[in-house]
Amino acid sequence: MIGPWRKKIQDERAEVVIVGTGAGGATAARVLAEKGIDVLMLEEGPRLHTKNRPRDIIGALSSAMRGAGTQTTAGLAPMPLMQGSCVGGSTAINSGIIWRLPEDVREDWIKNHGLAPLLERSEMDRIYETIEDELEVETTGDDVLGGNAAMMRRASDLMGLPGKSMERNAGRCEGSSQCLQGCPNERRRSMDVSFVPTAQRFGARLQTLRRVDRLWIERGKVVGVLGSVMDPETRKPEARFRVRAEHVVVSAGVVHTPGILLRSGMRGMVGRRFQAHPGAAIVGQFPEPVRMTFGATQGYEVPLRHLGYKLESLSLPPELLAARLPGVGKEWQKRMGMMDHYAQWCAQVRMQAKGRIYSGPGGAPIAVYEPTSDDLRKAQEAMVLLMRMMFRAGATEVYPGITGLPEVLTSEAMLDEHAHRKWKRGAIHLVASHLFGTAVAGHDPKQSVVDPTLTSHKYRNLSVMDASVFPTNLGVNPQHSINAIVWRAAELLADVRKRSKAA
């Protein structure tokens, strides 16, 4: 039955309409608006002003995350896919970790995917420097490193590992350890407090609670987007809207960008080559206080890309940490009394598996993804290393959170008893927030969705500007690479728009 809300239609116009306000969409808007282009940003989620965001982690993530964090892959061992659904997208709920595109990835994309127009080194360096200045990128200082990260540094030093303090877009960090809830004093330069308001100062418009359902296509040409206005309380559709535009930029994320394209009748490589850089975490108890409630949420890392993973400190708020503690009754209560003595570290695994996004019932995207046996081997190797690091740093108890292992390990020798047994897929509780592919860029229309300028092979007035266009898994945190590559693509699009107006 068609509800009465479908009878209400709101019409808008723009030169360029951008779907999504995350790392891709916000960057595109910021660049295009500065060039004098009439830009309209559409965001499915709300604008969460920092001062009004809940401080408890459950309330904060429920309000800012897609499906309140319940979005997962399909299958017997679902993997949560953590994505933001608010102004700023996933940048509003991440820790601000900054990595430039690794050189081996840049060379591979140029050689094997034809992306030289996007990745010329001097242009990328220029753009990185601009972004790093605007987003206040700095190395995490010792004054805000915090006990969790400092403990990882201790372990790294003791074991001779190549650890380092993280580069983050939070040069004025105060160590509140609340990145995931939204920095209380806006010290972390996520897109909602940086590129989105900058784009607005240049004249861009923003409409929230606008879910784009599909492209608006007439006579074989994209003329805009069609979607639903969402009720702010129920997040259910209450009206329809359409935006007529000369150019459409889809930046809805690796899961939902292909969903929009599939619902619009696009096929070929749309939804294929879905890749992930998932992680799993280990908690350890130490005799001295760690105090995860102070310091950068993530401040220290051990990059081991040559082995297929990187290790990171990740401070948890008390509500989530409590759920990671083993035991019941008095045993659990005793561990709760040690809340200041826990550290948590995670491993991000550069997996080679390739999945797919399908269009499910009602057009909702369904992610199918299964790590390979080698991916799982790397995950096990990384997690064993994390636990070994904890014991070397002085942990008295380590909580693996791995099905089939003891809930509590009390020594490195006890770890060794289980380290070489092959862990099953469902035993490792993986979570993915770094996603790639599904609308890949390339010179060959048969093997890609968009060309080396991120323009659709099929529709010349359609672009995709988010991590969907990445042909391969980076093996590092992707936000900075998204910012830079989209910045360059938006500059090229602005040039096209300028020539179109002059013609």
Q: What does the alpha-carbon distance between residue 131 and residue 196 come to, in Å, rounded to a whole number?
A: 14
Q: Residue 2 has what pLDDT?
A: 40
Out of 173-182, 243-252, 462-471, which region has the weakest mean confidence (pLDDT)? 173-182
Q: Residue 178 has what pLDDT?
A: 87
pLDDT above 60: residue 487? yes
Q: What does the alpha-carbon distance between residue 139 and residue 94 come to, in Å, rounded to a whole number?
A: 17
Q: Write the DSSP symbol of residue 102.
A: P
Picking from 491, 471, 496, the residue whose alpha carbon sits closest to that of residue 118 is 491
**How confident is the model over 451-474, as a mean pLDDT?**
97
**How confident is the model over 371-396, as a mean pLDDT?**
97
Q: What does the alpha-carbon distance between residue 151 and residue 24 come to, in Å, rounded to a whole number?
A: 34
Picking from 68, 86, 18, the residue whose alpha carbon sits closest to that of residue 225 is 18
By DSSP bridging, strand 272-276 and strand 355-359 are antiparallel
Q: Please state the domain extents for the chain.
A: 7-94+99-134+190-276+435-503, 139-176+279-350+372-429
Asked whether this chain's domains 7-94+99-134+190-276+435-503 and 139-176+279-350+372-429 adopt the same fold, the reply is no
Q: Are 485 and 101 in contact (CB under 8 A)?
A: yes
pLDDT in tens, 168-193: 999 999 999 988 888 888 899 999 99
pLDDT in tens, 127-158: 999 999 999 999 999 999 999 999 999 999 99
* Overall fold of domain 139-176+279-350+372-429: Cholesterol Oxidase; domain 2 (3.30.410)
pLDDT above 70: residue 159? yes
Q: What homologous superfamily is domain 7-94+99-134+190-276+435-503 in, according to CATH?
A: FAD/NAD(P)-binding domain (3.50.50.60)
**How confident is the model over 207-229, as a mean pLDDT?**
97
Q: Write the DSSP symbol of residue 95.
A: -
Q: Are 351 and 278 in contact (CB under 8 A)?
A: yes
pLDDT in tens, 321-371: 998 999 999 999 999 999 999 999 999 999 999 999 999 988 899 999 999
The strand pairing partners of 398, in sequence order, are 284, 409
Q: Residue 179 has what pLDDT?
A: 87
Q: Residue 6 has what pLDDT?
A: 52
Q: pTM for this structure?
A: 0.95
pLDDT above 70: residue 7? no
Q: Write the DSSP symbol of residue 81.
A: B
Between residues 501 and 113, the one the model is more confident about? 113
